[in-house]
Amino acid sequence: MKHSFCRFSLCAIALATMFFSSCNNEAAKTTTAEVAVFSLDSAKAAIAASNKTFGGTFANGDSTAFVGCYTSDACISVPNMPKMCGARAISGFFSGGYKWGIRNIKLTTNEVMGGKDAVVETGAYELFADKDVVLDKGKYIVMWKEENGKWKMHRDIWNSDAPAPAAK
C-alpha cells in the first residue's frame, strides 16, 4: 500500500509540475507576443507615410483622405478656437482651411515616443498657399493611436510661431 501511495504521490507531483510550468510558459509566450507586436520603428514609418498623405490632401482638396488620417473619435485643438471632435468637425475644419487658401502642409517630425497604447509625435509645420507661398509656420504635438490596424492621429494640437497681434 505504501508503495502505491508513493507512486501516486510522485505522479500527482509530476502532473502538477507539468501543468503549472505549461501555464507559466503560455503566460510567457503571451507576454512576449504582446511585446513583440509593437515596434516604435514601424509606428514611426506609419506616421511618416500618414504625414505625407495628410499634407497633400489640401493640394487635392480631398477632405475624405484628410479626415481618414484621424481616429473616429479624434479631437483637434485649433489655435484661438474651441476643441473640435469627430469626423464632421474635422471635415468642417478642412473645408475652412481650404477656403482660407491652404494647398499643402509640410510636417517635420522632431521626435516620436511611446508604446503600443499610444505614440506621441512632436514636430514643426509649414502651411502653404498656391505656388508654395508660406502662410504660417509653427509647432505641433500629436497623440497617435492604432485604429483598425493603422496608426492614426487621435489628439492634434498646434500653434503658430508668428508673433501675436498687438493689443489695441
CATH level 3 topology of 40-160: Nuclear Transport Factor 2; Chain: A, (3.10.450)
* Residue recorded with cell 504660417: 136
**Structure confidence at residue 22 (pLDDT):** 45
Question: Under a CB-based contact definition with an 8 Å cutoff, are residues 93 and 66 in contact?
Answer: no
Q: Which three cell numbers stand for residue 71?
A: 481616429
Quick one: which of 138, 126, 109 has its CA closest to 43?
109
Q: Could you read off the pLDDT of 78-137 as tens digits, one per residue?
A: 999 999 999 999 999 999 999 999 999 999 999 999 999 999 999 999 999 999 999 999
CA–CA distance, 160 with 168 (Å, rounded to integer): 20
**Structure confidence at residue 168 (pLDDT):** 84
Question: Under a CB-based contact definition with an 8 Å cutoff, are residues 98 and 61 in contact?
Answer: yes
User: Over 80: is that where the pLDDT of 21 sits?
Assistant: no
Q: Could you read off the pLDDT of 135-147 as tens digits, one per residue?
A: 999 999 999 999 9
User: Over 80: is that where the pLDDT of 1 sits?
Assistant: no
Query: Is-above-0.85 flag for pTM?
Result: no
CA–CA distance, 113 with 121 (Å, rounded to integer): 7
Between strands 104-114 and 84-85, the pairing is: unpaired
Quick one: which of 123, 118, 110 has its CA closest to 146?
118
Model confidence band, residue 165 (pLDDT cutoffs 50, 70, 90): confident
Residues in the chain: 168
Residue ranges per structural domain of the chain: 1-37, 40-160
Quick one: which of 69, 63, 65 has its CA closest to 47?
69
